[in-house]
Amino acid sequence: MKEFFARIGEFLRREPNLRALFAAPEATSASRTAVSQTERQRMRNRRNFFFFLFYPLAVFYMEVVFHFAIYGEIPVKTLVYLALFSFACGFLLSGIALLLPLRANRVFTIITFTILTLLFESQYIYFRIFNSPYRVATMGMGGAAIRDFRSMLLAEISSAWFAIVLLLLPLIYLLSHRRDYRPAFAPTFAFRIYLLVAALLLHLLAVGIISLDRSDFGDRYYYKNEFSAAEAERRFGVLTSMRLDVKFMLFGEDLPDPDDDLGESVNPFETKTPDPVVTMAPSVTTDPAATTEITENIVPPTPVEYGDNVMDIDFDTLIANETDADILAAHKYFSSLTPTKQNEYTGMFKGKNLIYITLEGFSYKTIDPERTPTLYKMSTEGIVFKNFYTSLWGGSTATGEYTSMTGLFYSSAQCLQMSGDNLLPFTMGNQFTKLGYKTYAFHNHDYNYYKRNESHPNMGYEFIAIGNGLTGLSDAWPRSDYEMAVATLPYYINLDTPFHAYYMTVSGHANYSFYGNSMSKKHQDVVANLDCSDNVKAYHACQYEVELMLAEMVRQLEAAGKLEDTVFVMSTDHYPYALSDSELAELYGLPEADIHKNFDLLRNGCIIWCASMKEPIIVEEPCSSLDIIPTVSNLFGLEYDSRLLMGVDVLSDAVPLVILNQDDKEGTSWNWINKYGEYNRGTKTFTPYEGFSATEEEIAAYVKQMNAVVSRKNKYSRMILEKDYYRYVFK
């Protein structure tokens, strides 16, 4: 060992780039021209040292500034990761630069460091606006986003200028001292290799430390198996997160098999095995003394036998003939599930028209009996959801809309574009097209945003939006939902055949102020008397467009004699995350502290209403956006296979499972709720609801199994999109 360190010391003494740091300067004459060749060499070597050290230090500095600006703190483990990955990145780029000719390496240095700075700046501003990182796949939308959300962008830059300047400092320093922090000449070839080797060793050290964390959903899981932009950025830093994004985008994710160490599943939602863990305390006790005499003349009613919502799929043959390991695993998984049964509500709306709306940034908290009477009527007189949730799958409208349209979930805004070539048999557009309905999809924003011009036609719609046939709307941001209703009702209201119209609104889009939102400004007088802050008032004001839109639809449908034959279904893409934490707390009536860890932030509304309904149907159990497609499919008596969707028909005897993937800075992903209680993955705590009891050992076993259920749904929901799984089933 002594000899090993002696050899390292000898190397350090020989290496001119390092020796120059400590060598005393030679005596020189007063004339600059008299500086010896040796002294010039020493000064150049020192300049080289500062060059290769500046890169890793600057990257580490930006990572630390970003973390403090977004998260407010840096755990020690995260700080270690940031340091190791930053120095690995810095040494790598320095080593590459030193391999280039002098002029080329100077250009390379300026360009690469400018790009790095822009990545940090753009991620910071995006996170400030949308409370989540952007994905590499969506970078191509940057130009459109700057154009459409210019006011939001300028407002955020204005309020966050200090952190923006701090992130710019290394680039400013590099540009102003570029002659001091660039190589004056090419150093020894060995030294360049040393930098690259150092980069590799630091990277391997960081990965080794990460691999030690084998806990459920720990560092190793998010580094090696599943990509979550928010989790990766929070744990490993901006550059590592974006590198992992590219890696998983190119090579896919390797989600572990959740059944590997579980043995036989005893999950009550996916097998016929009774639930062995949670028992419900009886809600009503019977007093034997008070029991009335039962006579022999009372004949119990014959129970109705309902069939299953399944299709004729020969999974045995599919399994026998499949050679792709992933598809084979999916066949086995879906064939093992218990389908939901048809029920007394099956076909309740059979043959009726359907208007299905995804509401931009909507919250049930904006519904008011006086201000929004149409919304209030629909939310209280139809199918009333008492505990409905909308997950934040990937921090974007695209992921929320994809879920509401497909009954599946995905964590990247690329999902709509990816779905453009897939077989999607269970979307409302495709199901109703098979029945001969006329199907339209409308959107009052650019037709190619999120590539809806590819996804929506593939989902069975004639797609009409701005730039693709939708006219008659005022040129404003955001555009009017009411004007969209007026412009689009003529497409279908006078048809002799049934119709299905899908809408994606935009009036409720951020930012929420009376200066940056034309709809908020338009309806400022409507909310003038509300007792809340200006930005929350602006939020209520822009969402008032939904009330006007629905009122106009109801009015015209009633005049055409089609109101009682038309069903309205509405949900949202996500909660209004562009509001600040204090404003969200004000809107939802929640404590501001740790608000993003509060499941009630994701509580929202879902409306299923038809004027022909005689009385409301109350749904008490927790349910979510995943359950809309199977529920509506059953209500219309459509042919679908309940095993192949991620949610359930909430009016059946199946127990819905709410998955909450609030992919944001708090790292609150893959929590879950069902009728028994709720599980917080961050705190690893299961909180049973009143009336349910179990021992600690039973709860631990149940949580392990339910986490596996969530992992399986995650794995196979991704596979449906990424591998076009439905096409293997419906060959």
Predicted confidence band at 396 (pLDDT cuts at 50, 70, 90)? confident
Residue with tokens 């939001």: 152
Is the residue at 715 inside a domain?
Answer: yes
Amino acid at 354: L
Torsion sign, CA atoms 676, 680, 681, 686: negative
514 or 159: which leads in pLDDT: 514
**295 is a domain residue:** no
Give yes or no: residues 247 and 315 share one domain. no
In contact, 564 and 611? CB cutoff 8 Å: yes
The span from the CA of 710 to the CA of 698, in Å, is 18
- 540 with 606, same domain: the answer is yes
Q: Which one has a higher pLDDT value, 167 or 105?
A: 167
- pLDDT tens by residue, 44-53: 555 556 667 8
Instruction: Please identify which residue in the block is written with the tokens 């006007």.
Output: 548
Is residue 40 over pLDDT 70? no
| C-alpha span between 673 and 686 (Å, rounded) | 9
Q: Do 207 and 316 sit in the same domain of this protein?
A: no
Give a yes or no: residue 1 inside a domain.
no
Whether pLDDT at 283 is above 60: no
pTM of the model as a whole? 0.83
* CA–CA gap between residue 401 and residue 625 (Å, rounded): 10
521: CATH? 3.40.720.10
Name 688's bridge partners.
677
Residue 464 included in any domain: yes
Q: Are residues 220 and 316 in the same domain?
A: no
CA-to-CA dists, residue 298 to 294, 295, 301, 388, angstroms: 7, 6, 9, 40
Q: How does strand 658-662 pair with strand 668-674? A: antiparallel
- 619 or 510: whose pLDDT is higher? 619
What is the average pLDDT across 396-416?
A: 92
Torsion of CA 51, 54, 56, 62, to 10 degrees: -150
Cα 600 from chain centroid (whole Å): 17
pLDDT per residue over 163-222, tens digit each?
Answer: 999 999 999 988 887 665 555 455 567 777 888 899 999 999 999 999 998 877 788 988
> What is the percent of the chain where pLDDT is above 90?
62
**Residues near 702 by Cβ (< 8 Å), separated by ≥ 6?**
277, 278, 686, 694
- Look at residue 719 and tell me if it is in a domain: yes
Within-domain flag for 376? yes
Query: What pLDDT is attached to residue 304?
Result: 65
pLDDT in tens, 428-437: 999 999 999 9
Cβ atoms of 354 and 569 closer than 8 Å:
yes
Tokens of 289: 């003394």
Distances in Å between the Cα of 251 and the Cα atoms of 247, 572, 625 are 6, 32, 29
The enclosing H or E element of 109 equals helix 102-130
Alpha-carbon span 596 to 603, nearest angstrom: 12
Q: Provide, rounded to the nearest whole percent, the portion of the chain with pLDDT above 70.
A: 81
Distance CA 135, CA 708 (A): 26
315 and 240 fall within a common domain: no
Q: Which residues does 121 contact at the CB level (< 8 Å), separation at least 6?
A: 164, 167, 168
Final residue in a domain of this structure, among 228, 251, 274: 251
Are 19 and 125 part of one and the same domain? Answer: yes
Torsion of CA 12, 17, 18, 21, to 10 degrees: 150
pLDDT bracket for residue 427 (50, 70, 90): very high
Tell me the C-alpha distance between 426 and 436, whole Å: 15
Which domain does 352 fall in, by range?
308-729
Smallest CA-to-CA distance from 40 within 22, 13, 20 is with: 20
240 lies in the same domain as 321? no
Task: Identify whether residues 328 and 233 lie together within a single domain.
Answer: no
Q: Residue 13's pLDDT band (boundaries 50, 70, 90)?
A: low
Q: Which of 251, 283, 317 is the last residue of a domain?
A: 251
**Cis amide leading into 511 (omega within 30):** yes
* 314 and 232 within one domain: no
Retrieve residue 317's tokens.
């043959």
Rg (CA), the chain: 30
Q: Region 276-295: what's the mean pLDDT?
A: 36
Q: Does pLDDT of 358 surpass 80?
A: yes
Tell me, yes or no, whether 518 and 655 share the same domain. Answer: yes
**pLDDT value for 30:** 47
More confident residue, 70 or 394: 70
- 702 inside domain: yes
Question: Which of 207, 227, 251 is the last residue in one of the domains?
Answer: 251
Number of domains in the chain: 2
Place of tokens 């080289």: 48
For 50, 455, 507, 720, the CA distances from 40, given in Å and listed in that order, are: 16, 64, 66, 64
Are 606 and 723 part of one and the same domain?
Answer: yes
Q: What per-residue confidence (pLDDT) applies to 668?
A: 64
CA distances, 457 to each of 454, 535, 626 (Å): 6, 37, 21
Cβ-based neighbours of 227, under 8 Å, separated by 6 or more:
244, 245, 248, 253, 411
CA distances from residue 41 to 47, 73, 179 in whole angstroms, order as listed: 10, 44, 16
Note whether 510 and 612 are same-domain residues. Answer: yes
Mean of pLDDT values over 345-352: 97
Q: Would you give the end-to-end CA distance of the chain in angstroms? A: 66
- At residue 411, the pLDDT reads 83
- The more confident residue out of 314 and 33 is 314
CB atoms under 10 Å from CB of 90, counted, come to 24
Element at 98 (helix H, strand E): helix 76-99
pLDDT of residue 218: 82
User: Is residue 379 in some structural domain?
Assistant: yes
pLDDT exceeds 60 at position 41 = no
Whether 191 contacts 15, CB under 8 Å: yes
Which pLDDT score, from 0 to 100, does residue 667 have? 56
Going from the C-alpha of 573 to that of each of 55, 79, 302, 402, 590, the distances in angstroms are 41, 35, 43, 9, 21
